[in-house]
């Protein structure tokens, strides 16, 4: 389905009972709402209505050119407007990677719109800031962002030689078909730039403005995540004032929804049903 909000048109994968409690699924970089395809059948089976949004920069109809259009406040406003357009007063929110950042900011700034939060891979921005300030290994893990923030250079590096760099980045999601599923849309004109603009618009002040979360929250982290280390993961608890649960998956990389959909789904449903 397609959803009109804030002057843009967003692509949305929807399913489940029409009158079921809503779950808003927010994807990460460089994927799309299809990363939840192995999770949603179990949500539908227990009566939940799932909406997997292709976010700003990923939906062709929501791809503004200006870098400033991708600041965190705009991304959160898209989520709020999307819920409004769907007629959803409050949803269970699940976000992976950058989608988790949007989820944290949405829950902190608009708690009335979030029934529960399940953040996957990326911790609360304050926990990440703590790790970057205190753990040299986290700083090294995050060095790739320096490339991603360079207009033109990042696109060239990732798309050269038939997108070899992009496909290598995605190699952890599974086999060649699954890699191609995410890489192919990023080769469309302007698509990768829109996705990278999330990094280019990122600012310390925007991230620092995300306050503690009061809604019931689960944070799911995997011990083989090359981008997020244990210091950041364990610092997340201090940023949740409400009920909090930390779920650690062993032997799993950053691509949790693709690599470990069953334990992730279990964590999501445990949070929703608690």
List, for residues 163-221, the tens digit of each pLDDT value. 999 999 999 999 999 999 999 999 999 999 999 999 999 998 999 999 999 999 999 99
pLDDT given at position 183: 98
pLDDT given at position 230: 98
Per domain, the residue ranges of the chain are 2-273
What 3-state class would DSSP assign to 161? helix
> What's the pLDDT band for 259 if we cut at 50, 70, 90?
very high
Instruction: Calculate the alpha carbon distances from 29 to 6, 107, 153, 165, 180 in Å.
Output: 22, 20, 17, 14, 14
CA–CA dist 48, 264 (Å, integer): 16
pLDDT given at position 131: 96
pLDDT given at position 7: 97
Q: How many CB atoms lie within 10 A of CB 142?
A: 16
pLDDT given at position 69: 98
What 3-state class would DSSP assign to 256? helix
- φ, ψ of residue 40 to 5 degrees: the values are -65, -30
Instruction: Give the mean model confidence (pLDDT) for residues 21-48.
Output: 98
Taking only the tens place, the pLDDT of each residue in 222-237 is 999 999 999 999 999 9
CATH number, span 2-273: 3.40.50.1820
Reported as half-sphere exposure (CB side, CA atoms, 13 A), residue 168 has a value of: 9
Tokens 């808003």 correspond to 24
Q: What angle do CA 119, 261, 19 make, to 5 degrees?
A: 75
């Amino acid at each position: 389905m397609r959803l009109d909000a804030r002057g843009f048109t967003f692509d949305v994968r929807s399913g489940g009972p029409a009158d079921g409690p809503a779950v808003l699924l927010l994807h990460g970089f460089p994927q799309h709402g299809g990363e939840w395809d192995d999770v949603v059948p179990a949500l539908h089976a227990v009566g939940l209505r799932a909406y997997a949004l292709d976010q700003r920069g990923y939906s062709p109809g929501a791809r503004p050119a200006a870098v400033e259009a991708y600041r965190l406040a705009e991304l959160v406003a898209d989520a709020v407007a999307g819920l409004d357009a769907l007629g959803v007063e409050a949803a269970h929110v699940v976000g992976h990677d950058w989608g988790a950042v949007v989820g944290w900011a949405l829950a902190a700034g608009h708690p009335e719109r979030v029934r529960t939060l399940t953040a996957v891979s990326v911790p609360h921005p304050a926990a990440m800031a703590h790790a970057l300030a205190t753990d040299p290994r986290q700083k090294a893990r995050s060095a790739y962002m320096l490339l991603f923030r360079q207009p033109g250079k990042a696109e060239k590096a990732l798309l050269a030689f038939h997108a070899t760099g992009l496909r290598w980045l995605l190699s952890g999601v599974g086999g060649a078909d699954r890699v191609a599923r995410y890489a192919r849309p990023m080769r469309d004109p302007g698509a990768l730039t829109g996705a990278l603009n999330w990094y280019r618009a990122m600012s310390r002040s925007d991230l620092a403005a995300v306050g503690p979360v009061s809604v019931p929250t689960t944070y799911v982290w995997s011990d083989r995540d090359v981008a997020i280390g244990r210091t950041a993961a364990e610092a997340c608890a201090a940023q949740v004032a409400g009920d909090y649960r930390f779920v650690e998956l062993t032997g799993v990389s950053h691509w949790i929804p693709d690599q470990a959909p069953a334990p992730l789904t279990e964590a999501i449903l445990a949070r929703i049903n608690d």
